[in-house]
Structure 1
């Protein structure tokens, strides 16, 4: 879609948000595997203006390309000095009535609520000391950068539909996310009208 103001539906966008190091990508990857048989559930590949790093398989763009393509993005935002976006494939899936999972930003939730007819928020949290260890293990940032990330805590504009305190095993949190996604997808999936001929 080229018009950034067009509302997107009838499918659903599930934005997984939370502080850096909470384990959002790990839980999304586990949910992706658990839901692999669902043709109506997709995991969005974020576009980011930085090289791909450990623990995050995203597409990369230059700032110039990001600016040029911005009108075509389903959603975009800035965080941590970088630009992020969900691409046109997300708009296509949601227009087809499918459910999309994406790693998002708490700061962009007001824009997302105005953009998508069906937006669900999953907030993933973890204690500061756990997040610090995970950020250090990624090897993407200096100790100072990590300290700055740990102090950022933008507020959610409304209560999330699901809160995951990610302190158990990754499998536990991932399956909790997968169960929620499955329920949303079942709710938004188009149902055959009564009396319609059976598909063969």
Structure 2
């Protein structure tokens, strides 16, 4: 594993970011299906201090396990009262020159920019009414928590490499994301 001061590359890390309920995981899943079997593309599985739930397949760690492993993660951050990470395998894939796609956080972009030699940002958005329906359908949060998530709108500190307004079908958005990933990897 690389040390904290090392810049990780030469592979590209594509962080898919955007507000809760924009459909990031859905688009990542659709892109994964389209790119299945590509030898140089990897989809990272996030580690989260939350049990698995609807709409997100992630690895689950207790807060104690997370804290013990945090120095080994390629990237980690805290949001919504939880801790999130990309595992150390992400660094290994990037060191091997592979392209890695991950659901990330807008707040962690400055750290990611310093940590990875080739970072690309895909910003996924959707109108608030669509996001509200999606968040309610997940069944993970109470109405007040959903309203709080909808009220947050942290700005990106950079111009994204791709913007997807996720209002069409998952297949349409997933195709756009997959095409972008294929271009980056070519």
| SS of structure 1 residue aligned to 2:136 | helix
Equivalent-residue separation in structure 2 for 1:42 and 1:31 (angstroms):
11
Deviation at 1:2, TM superposition (A): 5.0
Equivalent-residue separation in structure 2 for 1:5 and 1:105 (angstroms):
21
- 1:113 aligned partner: 113
Gaps of 5+ in 2: none
Any conservation in 2 of the 1:32–1:178 contact (CA below 8 Å)? yes
Equivalent pairs counted in the alignment come to 186
Any conservation in 2 of the 1:2–1:71 contact (CA below 8 Å)? no
Structure 2 residue 48 is matched with structure 1 residue 48: yes
What pairs with 1:137-176 in structure 2 (closer than 5 Å)? 137-176=137-176
Q: Deviations over 1:16-48 (max 9, x none)?
A: 000000000000000001111211101100000
Q: Give the TM-score normalised by structure 2.
A: 0.98
4+ residue runs over 2 A deviation: none
Gaps of 5+ in 1: 187-200
> Highest CA radius of gyration, 1 or 2?
1
Calculate the aligned-residue CA RMSD, in Å. Answer: 0.7
- 1:184 aligned partner: 184
